[in-house]
Amino acid sequence: MGNDANCLCKVLCSEDSIFKMTDDAWNNACINIRVHDKLDLYAAGYKRASDILAAHVISTGMGLDACIYPILFLYRHYLELRLKELLHSGSKLLSKNYTMKSTHSLIRLWSDARPLVHEIFPDGDAAELDSLERLLSEFSRIDEKSEAFRYPVNKKGAMYLDDIKYINVRNLIEILAKVESLLDGISCAVSAYLENMVK
């Protein structure tokens, strides 16, 4: 047992650092790049990461039962960030004061965002927004506080996701791609309007 412990101790050394730049520049991610809206960058990153992970488990057939949790967490966090970004940019476009709520609730965020979307796009398709609201409500019912895909139990010890047996990851990707198309389309249009205001 002593030898095994010594083996583990030799894995790390005092020069190791997690957050650093190295000589292979193509692998150095740019953290503080200047962008119009950093929330947009974060949202896009979480969506892209979830797509990559979901596509990987589908193509390899490996790790789905374990990876479904980070896949769903990443998708959910994308939705939360995209809604917060829409609230921020939409309020700015309409010259409205908006204080970002300290909430993870997709439905609370959407209930604030939907009136802005309607004001910016009065001729938009209400039925499509109703469908989006239904999907956000579905996600919110399963994971109201952004915890159900991070932990197996809540703070009281009750199981999360106890009433769900299966989630089809291919269907998940397809539906979230539609949601992304709508939300990112709204976001891009709002950004374009904001840029025109500056000119």
**Res 100: pLDDT:** 82
- DSSP assignment of 135-152 equals HHHHHHHH-TTS-TTT-S
**Res 14: pLDDT:** 84
**Res 101: pLDDT:** 78
Contact 140, 106 (CB under 8 A): yes
Helix or strand or coil: residue 159?
strand
Report residues of the chain scoring pLDDT below 50: none
pLDDT in tens, 23-53: 898 898 888 777 667 889 999 999 999 999 9
In the chain, count H helices and then E strands: 6, 0
**Res 8: pLDDT:** 58
**Res 154: pLDDT:** 92
**Res 36: pLDDT:** 66
**Res 33: pLDDT:** 77
Placement of tokens 């990707």 in the chain: 173
**Res 128: pLDDT:** 96
pLDDT in tens, 70-87: 999 999 999 999 999 999
